[in-house]
Structure 1
Amino acid sequence: MSSSPSPLSARGSRLALLVVGLCWLAVLFDGLDMFIYGSVLPHLLETKTFGLTADTAGDLGSYATFGMLVGALAAGTIADRIGRKKLMVSCVVLFSLASAVCAIADSVAVFGLGRTLAGVGLGGLLPTAISMVSDYAPRGRGAIVIGLLMTAHHAGGILSAYVAKWLVDPVGWRAAFWVCVLPLLFAPVLARFLPESLSFLVAKGRGDEARALAARYDVELPAAKSAKPGAADRWTNLVNLFRGGEWIQTLLYWLASFGGLLLVYGVATWLPTLMRAEGYELGSALSFVVVFNLGGIVGMLVAGRAADLPHPRLRSGGGTPTGAPRISAIWFALTAAGVFLLSVHMPMTATMVVVFLTGVFLNSAQTMIYATVSIRSNADNRATAVGWTSGMGRFGAVFGPWLGGQLLAAGNGDWGFTAFALAGLSSMVFIGIAAVRGARQTPKSTAGPELVSAH
């Protein structure tokens, strides 16, 4: 006979729902702002707005991803000072106001400034939101909750396509960016109802406040660290990634992440334009954005569920968990095949299926790189290893939009999908070699993987 949930458990579930719901909406607006540029880009190029050319458009796409790199790197330090809640509100305000700059821009320089500032806000929001939902996730459900959160990013991509379809032709491209200013109205709601991070309260010595909140809502209180690592400790953790033969594994992870995020952001920026170059109408090209992001939603839920399940071991007596890197390698291969097939003009139904599956595999493949690094790292070094792998990948995120623009500017648009497919194959090779090498080594950790956003 099943027992009814305790009042504490019910309250904990309601708090988790509140935190995840608010963070989900914030990440939805993050995804809308990120993808809106790619959705309106075909129109900007066709109308030669600001005298925009393909190579300049690629540069503009890289400005936002460079801003995301800056925002992601600064997020941890700023959050440690002002709190994760205030940082999230600040990021929403920043990328909303930056979209207003884009909407009123009268030159490429002003538009580029707006996209760079938006990128800083976007890059700071995502890791902070992931940290927030991790604090308040029900026990044992952290990975699937983060996977659920990341569906919001792809839902924002879907929304961006519809905003472009509904507004760009009848009203103009500026209207699409004015829509991206609307999250500014959400910032006061976030400030009013989102609780502060439990990890932040514990770190700041506000233990009584944290314990009261955790007890009230039946959530697990994060463990207090005896001492905060200083600069020397962080430097030691980084150096440890290169000691002995570890430097090979570290470089393999970094190279795989570089190729993966090059592929993610290259496709996100140029998919509608490249599909237009393949002969599809603008409406159809934007529909591919919707289908691609639907695949991304499915892929993130699958990755979240897989990360919450026990990982098989190759050898009896406990070997290295190898599921994540092998899945990542296989899925990068499938992604490369899907991206390459997009360069072939197929029947619409077949193209839609390929775009959907590419969305499923691509985003989850990148996520599994981070899961692999988390599995292979010891507890003291895990945050450094995952953080630097993500950071190196961000350079690929900057390079991807630029690469697509250069190929189109040179009249080699047909090579766009091929170039992105080669990036997927390179990530497959690097993470595959890392998987083989890792299987031969004694594991440093048998803990389950941390699910980290592919973005």
Structure 2
Amino acid sequence: MRQRTDATTGAAERRGASGAGRGYGVVLGLCWVAVFFDGLDMFMFGATIPAMLADASLGLDPGAAGTIGSLATFGMLVGALSAGLLTDAVGRRWGIAVCCTVFSLASGLCAAAPTAEVFGAGRLIAGLGLGGLLPTAIAMVSEFAPDRRRNLSIGALMTGHHAGGIAAALLGIWLVGALGWRSIYWVGVAPVLVIVPLALLVLPESPSFLAARERRWHGRAGDSHDAGCSGPPRDVGRSGDRHDAGRPGPAALAGLAGLFRGGSGPVTLFFWLTSFAGLLLVYGVSTWLPALMQAEGHDIGSSLGFLLTVNAGGIAGMLVAGRVSDAWGPVRVATLWFLVTALWTVLLSVRTALPLTYALVFLVGLFLFSAQTMVYAAVAHVFPPGNRATAIGWTTGMGRFGAVFGPWMGGWLFATGSQSWGFAAFALAAVCGTATLLCAGWAIRRRPRGGSAAA
């Protein structure tokens, strides 16, 4: 029985290797478009706040706008924690389709919202889909990418998020001014009309997920094959197939427990702490960097110029970090990138000419965003397919607490008159990210062979 199981699993993995190569371009392209709309949806609220506050029929005030922003962040936290568990049980393809459907329909609800309360409900629901899409797409791309380009592929995928941020800023000028704030949310409905049908029609299922599911099935079946069972569930990859791998609940819980088995507990916890520090930086710096530079006496120009510059740096950084990580390893690169982020953040406190200020902002974007993305790449590298999406999802979800704390910390610094310490505070967070990644690397090396995660 054991030999039969090993042979079947080996065959699934061989099918996975060939299938991954054939589907790589389709997977990366379609996931990139999905992540682009994820970034567009995430940043569109900030781009429409002024027009929404001016719309008396909506009844939105600044306090309510802040609450709505928090609701969306909370939704992303819940979505990130739950999506990995779900997609490790039922598959990446369906996970992407469901997440895109959720945030697209929620965008339509926001576009048609008659009151601020309904709009807030829409943003909360959108957060569930937005939080779930990224870990699912990262897991999918990492499993289809060739080994020599896996980290570059994840970096390339995440450029879509920053391209979406740039598009949100531009649409905030071109579309909102001409057609009103609701128009940009109608654009956010596009994924359910385009991406979801394509995902169900042409997106293949992850062969690594299928092989892991087959191993889980054999583990549950025991000797039932000898008792006349019909065999493991069918490998699926086309729209007409069904996932009938069994109950998703037990498989999902097993995936979560696997993050702490075989000496992987410390690795998991250090990745969670790093993600907290990384998203604290991403959201804190993105929110308060213009105000902090103004407090230091910088002339930063327009907010749009800052947004375009920092996202352009993010796009370049994803490609650079991904390529370097394929040579050095994502843990090493993320560690170095956090340390360099601390240096550039401190240098922003030095008053310089406007062109040099924008160059520094570009460099902050280049290292900061890609440092956090390489944390996700490291998790995808360390954990096996059976609980990879769960590992990425929970790393992202725990980081969402930092996404909430970072903007709050910046506001607290200004409220207490301590904004002169702002750059030092964010630089300290980057140093903490460096330290926790060093600890993660140490824990990976000390983990017993045969643990639940693959080094």
TM-score range, shorter chain: 0.7 to 0.9
How far is 1:209 from its partner?
6.1
The 1:211–1:292 alpha-carbon spacing in structure 2 relative to 1, beyond 3 Å, is: same
Cα distance, 1:196–1:444 mapped onto 2, change above 3 Å: same
Partner of 2:142: 134
2:336 to 324, 327, 351: 327
Cα offset, 1:240, TM superposition: 7.1
- The yes-or-no answer on 1:305 pairing with 2:305 is no
Gapped regions of structure 2 (runs ≥ 5)? 1-16, 215-230, 239-249
> SS where residue 195 of structure 1 aligns?
coil
Matches within 5 A, 1:392-411: 392-403=398-409, 410=415
Conservation of the 8 A alpha-carbon contact between 2:255 and 2:386: no
Identify the residue that residue 310 of structure 2 maps to in structure 1: 292
- 1:431 is aligned to 434
Is the 2:334–2:375 Cα contact (8 Å) retained in structure 1? Answer: yes
1:225 aligns with none
Whole-angstrom CA distance in 2 between matches of 1:349 and 1:387 = 39
Alpha-carbon shift at residue 308 of structure 1 (Å): 0.9
- 1:2-401 counterparts in 2 under 5 A? 15-44=23-52, 50-53=59-62, 55-186=63-194, 187-205=196-214, 210=235, 231=253, 234-235=256-257, 237-238=259-260, 253-269=271-287, 284-310=302-328, 323-324=332-333, 326-337=335-346, 340=349, 347-370=353-376, 388-401=394-407
Are residues 11 and 131 of structure 1, via their aligned partners in 2, closer, same or farther at CA, if it must alter by over 3 Å? closer
Residue 51 of structure 1 and its aligned partner are, at CA, apart by: 4.0
Q: Distance in 1 between matches of 2:185 and 2:289?
A: 19
| Structure 1 position 201, deviation (Å) | 3.0
Q: Which amino acid aligns with 2:305?
A: S
For 1:36 and 1:145, locate their aligned partners in 2 and report how far apart those are by CA, in whole Å: 26
CA deviation vs aligned residue, 1:365-411 (integer Å, no higher than 9, x gap):
22344566778889999888766544322211133345556677x59
Q: Deviations over 1:231-263 (max 9, x none)?
A: 5785475387798xx5xx876654443222022
Q: Is the 8 A contact 1:324 1:371 kept in 2?
A: no
Which residue in the other structure is 1:317 paired with? Answer: none
Task: Give the residue type in structure 2 aligned to 1:201.
Answer: L
Q: Match for 1:74: what amino acid?
A: S
Q: Secondary structure at the match of 2:178?
A: coil
Shift of 1:30: 0.8
Do the aligned partners of 2:59 and 2:115 also contact (CA within 8 Å) in 1?
yes
What is the match of residue 453 of structure 1? none
Question: Is contact 2:339-2:431 (8 Å) kept?
Answer: yes
Aligned residues: 406
Which residue identity is paired with 1:156? G
**Distance in structure 2 (CA, Å) of the matches to 1:337 and 1:65:** 27
Deviations 1:339-369 (A, max 9, x none): 656xx6x654333222211111111222344
Structure 1 residues 315-354: Cα deviation after superposition (integer angstroms, max 9, x where no partner) = xxxxxx973364034223135226656xx6x654333222
- How far apart are residue 200 of structure 1 and its match? 3.6
Distance in 2 (alpha carbons) for counterparts of 1:26 and 1:41 = 24
CA displacement at 1:118 relative to structure 2:
0.8
Pair 421,43 (structure 1): closer, same or farther in 2 beyond 3 Å: farther
User: How far 1:168 sits from its partner (Å)?
Assistant: 2.3
User: CA shift at 1:96, angstroms?
Assistant: 1.1
Structure 1, residues 34-58: CA drift from partner, whole Å, max 9, x if none? 11122233554577873422x5433
1:256 to 1:422, Cα distance in 2 relative to 1, 3 A: farther
Q: Is the 8 A contact 1:102 1:115 kept in 2?
A: yes
Task: Look up the SS of the partner of 2:430 in the other structure.
Answer: helix
Distance 2:147 2:264 in 1: 34
Q: Is the 8 A contact 2:70 2:404 kept in 1?
A: yes
- Contact residue 79 and residue 128 of structure 2 kept, 8 A: yes
Q: Which amino acid aligns with 2:260?
A: L
Instruction: Summarize the Cα distance change of 1:278–1:56 in structure 2 as closer, same or farther, 3 Å threshold.
Output: farther
| Structure with the larger helix share | 2
The answer for unaligned runs of 5 or more in structure 1 is 1-8, 214-227, 312-320, 451-455
Cα pair 1:95 1:117 within 8 Å, conserved: yes
| Separation (CA, whole Å) in 2 of partners of 1:113 and 1:269 | 23
Q: d(CA) in 2 for partners of 1:81 and 1:440?
A: 27
Query: Following the alignment from structure 1 to structure 2, what is the Cα–Cα distance between the partners of residues 233 and 136?
Result: 20
Is the 8 Å Cα contact of residues 294 and 356 (structure 1) preserved in structure 2?
Answer: yes
